[in-house]
Amino acid sequence: MSGITALGTTYNLPNYSGILYQLTPADTPFFSAIGGLSAGGGQATDYEFEWETFDLRDAAQNTVLEGQDAPTDQNRVRANASNILQIHQETVGVSYTKQAATQRKSGLNNGQSNPVLDELDWQTEQMLKQIVRDINWSFINGVYQKPSDNTTARKTRGLLAAIASNVTDAAGGVTATGTAAASTDLITLSTHGLVNGDTVTFSSVGAAAPLVAGQAYYVVNSSTNTFSVARTKGGAAVNISADGTVIWSKGVALTKNMVDDTLQLAYDNGGISELETATILTGSAQKRAITNVYSSAGYVTKELTGNVGGVNVTRIETDFGVLNVMLDRLMSQSSLAVVSMEQCQPVYLDVPGKGHMFQEPLAKTGAKDRNQIYGEVGLAYGNERAHAKITNLK
């Protein structure tokens, strides 16, 4: 069930009596947690924002001679990191008739009122939830884009794209290259070796829209030399709208060694040092895999729960301490991230007289009301070396 892309009327927004249920989950754990940890987030005065990082020299037995002069001057050099604010802007519009005819189609359940009595307010509320989900998705999966002018949209760099130093590739760097055809929705590579249900993650999709690099797909309709991909296991093949050359890696099952190696990368580079906020961020598939690999290895898993920034988490005992495990529906199913959460926060642009994320009525253009929701927000992720990730997981 998808939303309309036009004015809301009594015809395309029917209102039925009975209890109202939401079909799409609206939880946003990562965004909520880092906002809670930073007391709501930071504020920028430009659409590009930056922060500084520095490190200390390697620890050593730094000896000096008795009575010698003061050593040569040393200072620590700071570096900067930056990201971009991404605009989130949506509009809802509802006709006067739709706002007034609140009991349309209410006759099937005698004595019951339709659950939505203020259509414009309800639509605005749901659109705000959608924006928050988009922000959460962008903070995890977003790909950086800083345009030279306003003819191209700005895109904030998400956590997975930001992590460049501490990376474990489950596929060991093995890739395959094929051609995607819009006419058949098939990807062609001679004896590709994939079977239905396998996971593939594209590192490059060329012009093959709407495939997205970095997202996990499931193989469907596989034959010796061709296959299609779906967003869900056994689901409908993605409708490829343009031909292109694509590069992918086949997903490999998570192992405890992968997790331990990745935790060590983060730890050795100064990350996950605050156990209250040291977190493994995962989607549903890798959440199950983490539990399975630690349990099957005879490792003790802590039956504990807690919270990070007000978000409930479970905890698991590792060689590097008891870490939080945060389940997020919008995390890539083929990746797993190790996050020093205390280094992350949302950054907002404060629009004078309006605030960070605001709703305002738009000008009248007919027998309808229209509301605009607007906000600009980006992710500050601290030192990317304090985080780590595993990619190309099954």
Query: At a CB cut-off of 8 Å and minimum separation 6, what does 149 contact?
Result: none
Residue with tokens 């056994």: 234
Query: Given this model, what pLDDT does residue 281 score?
Result: 97
Give CA–CA dist 212/209, Å, rounded: 7
Please tell me the predicted confidence (pLDDT) of residue 385: 95
What pTM was estimated for this model as a whole?
0.89
**pLDDT, averaged in runs of 10, over the chain (394 residues):** 79 75 82 86 93 81 86 86 95 94 72 83 93 95 94 96 96 95 96 95 94 91 96 93 96 95 96 93 94 79 78 90 93 95 95 92 93 95 96 94
User: What is the model's pLDDT at position 17?
Assistant: 66
206 φψ region: left (φ > 0), alpha (ψ -120 to 50), beta (else): left
Annotated domain spans of the chain: 25-54+76-85+137-170+252-394, 171-250
For residue 371, the model assigns a pLDDT of 94
User: Which residue is it, tokens 């709208």?
Assistant: 241
pLDDT for 223 equals 96
What does the pLDDT read at residue 111? 61
β-partners of residue 349 are 44
CATH assignment of 171-250, among 2.40.30.180, 2.30.40.10, 3.80.30.20, 1.20.120.1760: 2.40.30.180
User: What would the pLDDT profile of 317-335 be if each residue is shown by its tens digit?
Assistant: 899 998 999 999 999 999 9
How many helices (H) and strands (E) the chain has is answered by: 6, 20
Q: Give residue 133's pLDDT.
A: 94
